Amino acid sequence: MAQITFHSATSDDQTAMAALRKIVEPNKGRLRSAAARGPYDEMMNRVPAPEGVTYEEDTVAGVPGWWCTPADEQQAGVLCHFHGGWFNFGSAKAFRHLVGQIAAKANVAAFVPDYRLAPEHPFPAAIDDAEKCYRGLLDRGYTKIALTGDSAGGNLALLLLSRLQQEGRTTTPVGAVVLSPVTDLALTGDTWSSRAEADPYFTRSQVTDLVTAYVGSLDPKSPALSPLYGDLGSLPPIRVHVGNDEVLLDDTRRYVERAIESGVDASADVWESMTHGFLSGVGKLAAANEALEAIGAFLVNRLNGFRIAGNA
């Protein structure tokens, strides 16, 4: 049975993370509204661009987004990646390099939808767009689709898995990889306290404002909003990666534990000294490089040998 694995940090990674903290901690908790969209996208645009990946704008089932396609694409399936940003910021264009890194390791094209954002478009706009995009990829002939997502996008990926399972669809995702997913919008995890100082990005008051902009007066513990409280039975294989210095650590641990209890092939990798979004440090952090390799290997395994319907 899959489990939770802890990875020690190299001395170089510890030094690099200490330097990062000095840069980002002065702005801790300041990304609180749609006004943060520009600075947030600027930050994500700094992720190193992978070699040999091309980008193209497109619209799938009415949802705009970006394709990230490796030059040596070998798999005929497809990834659908939902970006982070606490449902209030983030964009497909800003996340294209991060997703391109994943696509390159998996040797498969990835589509990143620009789902609608709060507060202009509160729940259920984002998850409805996620499902429309998935259905649109099926309509294009993709019969094997893997879901990926980070932070709020991880929430959408896991919710979509459960929504599709409940609908009893015959064609469901072959698996999912999520990075530091938001699984509990009620913010009840112990690490909101135990990692409050260690996390250099988020504060409870900040995230409470962002979540409220998304859910309004709805119950944040509703299974339609928080994957942690849903029916996790019969879901496809799930892999999760999270930093040990994140307030969202318990969102991962509790979700994976519940998934395993429900009979799901699920596991989590917890990376020592890593903060939220550490995969953005690919090429500089050993942890990011190792996590990316593991993600790629899992996705290749889930998509290997499959073909687009109608093609040889």
Of residues 7, 97, 131, 151, which has the active-site annotation? 151
User: Which two three-digit tokens encode residue 210?
Assistant: 């962002």
CA gap 200, 26 in Å, rounded: 9
Of the candidates 250, 252, 184, 255, which has an alpha carbon nearest to the alpha carbon of residue 219?
184
Catalytic status, residue 290: no
When computed from its CA atoms, the radius of gyration of the chain, rounded to whole angstroms, is 18
Of residues 81, 83, 241, 276, which has the active-site annotation? 276
Classify 253 as helix, strand or coil: helix
CA gap 299, 110 in Å, rounded: 12
Of the candidates 123, 64, 72, which has an alpha carbon nearest to the alpha carbon of residue 92?
64
Catalytic status, residue 91: no
Of residues 7, 162, 246, 280, which has the active-site annotation? 246
Query: Is residue 80 within 8 Å of 49, Cβ to Cβ?
Result: no
Classify 179 as helix, strand or coil: strand
Catalytic status, residue 246: yes
The catalytic site residues sit at: 151, 246, 276
